Amino acid sequence: MPRFAFIGQRLWLDFVNTDHDTKAGRVDALDSFEALLAWFGAAQVLDPERVDSMQRRAAQQPAGATAALHDARRVRAALRVLAERGLRDATPALTEINRVLSRAVGARRIEPRDDGTLVRSFIPSGDAFAQLIVPIVDSAADTLVSGELARVRRCASATCARVFFDASRNGRRRWCDMRTCGNRAKATRHRKKRKTAR
Ligand SMILES: [Zn+2]
C-alpha cells in the first residue's frame, strides 16, 4: 500500500487524512518530521530540492523541526473537526487558520506540476519551519471562502475516517475511494442480496 493517500481532492483534506482510522486502529502517517517532509514532497507542495534543504536544516535544528511537527498535528486536528462538522463547529479551526495566516510571510506563486495541473506554492521568507503549514491552511481557507465546505464529506464506512471533497455532479459521493471502501460496501450489499434471494 502506498504510504500516503491522495483521495481528498483538496490539499487540506489529504493532509487531514494522514491521521485516519483503519481496522488496526488510528494510524498517524506523520510520526516524524521526516515523514511530514515526505508528505509535502509526495503532495508536490515542496519540490525535491526544498525537501532536501529542509531535511538538512532539521538535522541542524532538531528542536525547531519537532516544534513544526507538533504544530502541523495541531492544525490537522482543528482541520479534521472542520471537515467532519462543517460550519456548525468552525470556530476552533478558524482560530487556527487565522493564527497561521497572520504569521505567513513569504511569496505566493503559481507553479506547474508534473502532471500539467497548476499548484499554488508558498516560498517563505522568515522561519521556514513555522511556515511549512501555510499552503495547507491556504487550501482550507479557499474551501471556506468559496462556499465549498458543504461538499466536504467523511467516508460512509464506519471503519474509515477519511474525508474528501465531493466533486461528483450529483453530490452523492459516499466513499473515500471506490477501490477500497466503495468496493467493500458493494461486496457486502451483494452478499446480503444473495442471502435474501435464497
Ligand atoms: Zn473510506
pLDDT tens digits along 41-69: 999 888 899 999 999 999 999 999 999 99
Cα 4 from chain centre? 10
pLDDT reported for residue 172: 93
Could you tell me the pLDDT band of residue 2, with boundaries at 50, 70 and 90?
low
pLDDT reported for residue 198: 61
Cα(96)–Cα(114) distance, rounded to whole angstroms?
Answer: 31
Q: Which of 151, 142, 139, 166 is nearest to 16 (CA)?
A: 139
The Å distance, Cα 177 to ligand 1 centre, comes to 6
pLDDT reported for residue 66: 96
pLDDT reported for residue 25: 76
The Å distance, Cα 121 to ligand 1 centre, comes to 29
The Å distance, Cα 105 to ligand 1 centre, comes to 36
The Å distance, Cα 156 to ligand 1 centre, comes to 7
- Helices 62-85 and 33-42 cross at an angle (nearest 10°) of 60
The beta strand positions in 131-178, using DSSP E, are 152-154, 163-165
Has residue 185 got a pLDDT over 90?
Answer: no
The Å distance, Cα 40 to ligand 1 centre, comes to 22
The Å distance, Cα 7 to ligand 1 centre, comes to 10
Q: What is the pLDDT of residues 120-175, one digit of tens each?
A: 888 888 888 989 999 999 999 999 999 999 999 999 998 889 999 999 999 999 99
pLDDT reported for residue 122: 87
Supply 117's cell numbers.
Answer: 495541473
Can you name the CATH fold of 11-197?
A: Jann2411-like fold (1.10.3300)
- State percent of the chain over pLDDT 90: 66
Could you tell me the pLDDT band of residue 20, with boundaries at 50, 70 and 90?
confident
The Å distance, Cα 106 to ligand 1 centre, comes to 36
Could you tell me the pLDDT band of residue 24, with boundaries at 50, 70 and 90?
confident
Cα(38)–Cα(51) distance, rounded to whole angstroms?
Answer: 8
Average pLDDT over residues 20-26: 72
Has residue 1 got a pLDDT over 60?
Answer: no
pLDDT reported for residue 197: 67
Higher pLDDT, 190 or 47: 47
Is residue 86 left, alpha or beta, with left meaning phi > 0 and alpha meaning psi from -120 to 50? left
